[in-house]
Chains A and B, each alone.
Chain A
Amino acid sequence: MQEFIRGCTRVLGVVAGFLPIAMSFGALSVQAGLSVAATVGMSMGLYAGASQFAAIEGVRQHLPWLSIVLSVLIINLRHIPMSLSAHRIYSRFGTVHHWLLSHGLIDETFALEATEPPQSFAYYLGMHLSCWVVWVLGTWLGCQVGFQLPEQWLQFALPGLFLCLLTDSLRRRWRREMTIVLSVGVALALLMRSLESVGMLLAILGVTAVASCFPKLDESIEERV
């Protein structure tokens, strides 16, 4: 139980950032004509911010169902390499636990888990469950109260989280070669921005490919482990 609570507290910053986004989604979705049940159902079952916004935009524009489904799946393609990488952390828990943790594998939990030493199953479950529950509750709340959100103060929570993890990651594995990887990463992320989620996936794979060209960077990871 202690481990579970430790996992829950680890994601406090994430859930603070989640809340206004989940509420915005709930408000927009109801405005687009979806029922509260379908809106909350989407947050429970799909649980993927950007693609949920894309789905309700598709519904609002009366796009064909196949186009909506394909858009959502394309946006979520980045979960495949993330899941392959997370397998190294989850594989020691057994298949059932692994399947269970898979649903909670989102950008934020992945980034947190990848930057800390391996933890217990209860710890990861606490992290995943807290994020999921806040996302679902935030969606429901957004359906009820609309756009009266404390957005201004929490807007920077998720960018802040990733920036913090990036700084920490750079501090721990710094090598001269990292300047090249960093420059390429910044350039790719900005250049591919117009392609939205597909661009993000391409940029992630591009940075991974460039980093793989430097064996010294592997050493820095091994030292950390």
Chain B
Amino acid sequence: MNIWWIIALTGIGTFLMRSAGVWVKPEFVQGRWLNHLPFAVILVIAISSLSGFTTTEQETIRTILASAAVIAASLRQLPLVVCIAIGCGVFGVLSSL
């Protein structure tokens, strides 16, 4: 099958999932569980993405230190972009050593 058909089908399918909030019955959207969904998404993606950096011991140490830097910056309530830049800086410097 043509690659364009694959792109079209996956694109439409994904868009329908992303727009579920528009076409799913409103009663279903009222559930209490949805209150906790944003936190669950953030937690699971944060852990998954961090665990992707733990293949070697050195990488694990880099990840722990960069994470600590981001957490410290976030607790000091620095702007989001600054927190990310600090994390990237620590990770980048440690990677280049």
Given contacts A13-B85, A105-B18, A208-B33, contact A38 B42 (CB under 8 A): no
Q: Whole-angstrom distance from the CB of A16 to the nearest CB of chain B? A: 7
Given contacts A83-B18, A155-B91, A156-B87, contact A65 B1 (CB under 8 A): yes
Encoded as 1 (CB less than 8 Å from any A CB) or 0, chain B from 5 to 42 comes to: 11111110111011111101000110011111111111
Partner of B8, one of A45, A173, A208: A45
| Interface pair A160/B84, CB less than 8 Å apart | yes
Q: Whole-angstrom distance from the CB of B13 to the nearest CB of chain A? A: 5
Closest to A104 in B: B18
Binding site for B on A (CB under 8 A): 10, 12-13, 16-17, 34-35, 38, 41-42, 45-48, 51, 55, 59, 65, 68-69, 72-73, 76-88, 90-91, 95, 98-99, 102-103, 105, 107, 110-112, 114-115, 152-169, 171, 173, 181-182, 185-186, 188-190, 193, 200, 203-209, 211-212, 217-218, 221
Given contacts A13-B84, A51-B14, A163-B46, contact A207 B51 (CB under 8 A): no
Sort A-B residue pairs by CB-CB distance and give the 3 closest, nearest first: A87-B21, A114-B38, A160-B87
Q: Whole-angstrom distance from the CB of A121 to the nearest CB of chain B? A: 15
Give 8 CB contacts A-B under 8 Å: A83-B18, A87-B21, A95-B22, A152-B92, A159-B87, A181-B43, A206-B40, A208-B37
Interface residues in B36-86 by Cβ distance below 8 A to A read 36-53, 63, 66-67, 70-71, 73-75, 80-81, 83-85
| Interface pair A161/B84, CB less than 8 Å apart | yes
| Interface pair A16/B1, CB less than 8 Å apart | no
Q: In the bound complex, what is the Cα–Cα distance between A191 and B39 (angstroms)?
A: 19
Given contacts A152-B95, A185-B47, contact A84 B20 (CB under 8 A): yes
Given contacts A46-B7, A87-B22, A159-B46, contact A204 B87 (CB under 8 A): no
| Interface pair A204/B71, CB less than 8 Å apart | no
Given contacts A65-B5, A87-B22, contact A162 B13 (CB under 8 A): no
- Inside 8 A of B39's CB, which chain A residues have their CB? 114, 169, 173, 181, 207, 211
| Interface pair B22/A78, CB less than 8 Å apart | no
| Interface pair B40/A208, CB less than 8 Å apart | yes
Q: Whole-angstrom distance from the CB of A15 to the nearest CB of chain B? A: 10
Chain B facing A: main interface SS: helix
Q: Whole-angstrom distance from the CB of A39 to the nearest CB of chain B? A: 9
Given contacts A105-B18, A107-B45, contact A156 B40 (CB under 8 A): no
| Interface pair A164/B73, CB less than 8 Å apart | yes
Given contacts A159-B46, A166-B46, contact A207 B7 (CB under 8 A): no
- Inside 8 A of B67's CB, which chain A residues have their CB? 159, 163
Q: Whole-angstrom distance from the CB of B1 to the nearest CB of chain A? A: 4
| Interface pair A34/B47, CB less than 8 Å apart | no
Q: B46, B70, B74 — which one has the most chain A CB atoms within 10 A of its CB?
A: B46
